[in-house]
Amino acid sequence: MSVSDPIADMLTCIRNAAQARHRRVDVPASRIKQEIAGVLLRENYVANVKRMEDGKQGMLRIYLRYDDEEKSIITGIKRVSSPGRRIYVNRHTVPRVQGGMGTAIVSTSQGILTDREARVRGLGGELLCMIW
């Protein structure tokens, strides 16, 4: 079965695993998914990301983070741009998520960046998702 929106599928897997209190989740790997997972790791939403080879396209194993009360660090994750409706922002309209407490992930000409990094570099691009 082919997936029409692999990024949304990855985000849904992460959301479902966090709600079910799983320690890790495996998703099929791609370059853009690996970069998004790298942003989640840099922003401390996940504990670790590993790429595992399986003879096909590979798998990304994402280890989720929880606080002392076993609540997920990720309370919300939302896909903004989709294959049928692309959402672009310029450097002046890059959104702040939850008043700066969350993170927007933007695909720019310099790679996948957070909203803060895009603002500092003065870049806009496709608004992939928001996480808080």
- pLDDT > 70 fraction of the chain, expressed in percent and rounded: 98
Based on the domain organization, do 59 and 91 belong to the same domain? no
Q: Is residue 113 part of a domain?
A: yes
**Is the pLDDT assigned to residue 13 strictly greater than 80?**
yes
Per-residue confidence band for 120, with pLDDT thresholds at 50, 70 and 90: very high
Amino acid (1-letter code) at residue 23: R
d(CA 130, CA 128): 7
Q: By residue range, what is the domain housing residue 124? A: 77-131
Per-residue confidence band for 2, with pLDDT thresholds at 50, 70 and 90: low
* Domains of the chain: total: 2
CATH number at residue 85: 3.30.1490.10
Q: Is residue 32 part of a domain?
A: yes
Q: Is residue 69 part of a domain?
A: no
Based on the domain organization, do 90 and 122 belong to the same domain? yes
Q: Is residue 48 part of a domain?
A: yes
Closest among 79, 86, 93, 85 to 122, alpha carbons compared: 93
Q: Is residue 103 part of a domain?
A: yes
| CA distances to 33, 79, 113, 125, 128 from 86, in Å | 17, 11, 17, 10, 9
Q: Is residue 72 part of a domain?
A: no
**Is the pLDDT assigned to residue 1 strictly greater than 60?**
no
pLDDT tens by residue, 67-84: 999 999 999 999 999 999
CATH number at residue 26: 3.30.1370.30
Q: Is residue 37 part of a domain?
A: yes
Q: What is the pLDDT of residue 55?
A: 87
Per-residue confidence band for 3, with pLDDT thresholds at 50, 70 and 90: confident
**Is the pLDDT assigned to residue 113 strictly greater than 60?**
yes
DSSP class of residue 96 equals P
pLDDT tens by residue, 28-47: 999 999 999 999 999 999 99
| CA distances to 34, 70, 79, 86 from 27, in Å | 10, 23, 16, 23
- pLDDT > 90 fraction of the chain, expressed in percent and rounded: 95
pTM comes to: 0.92
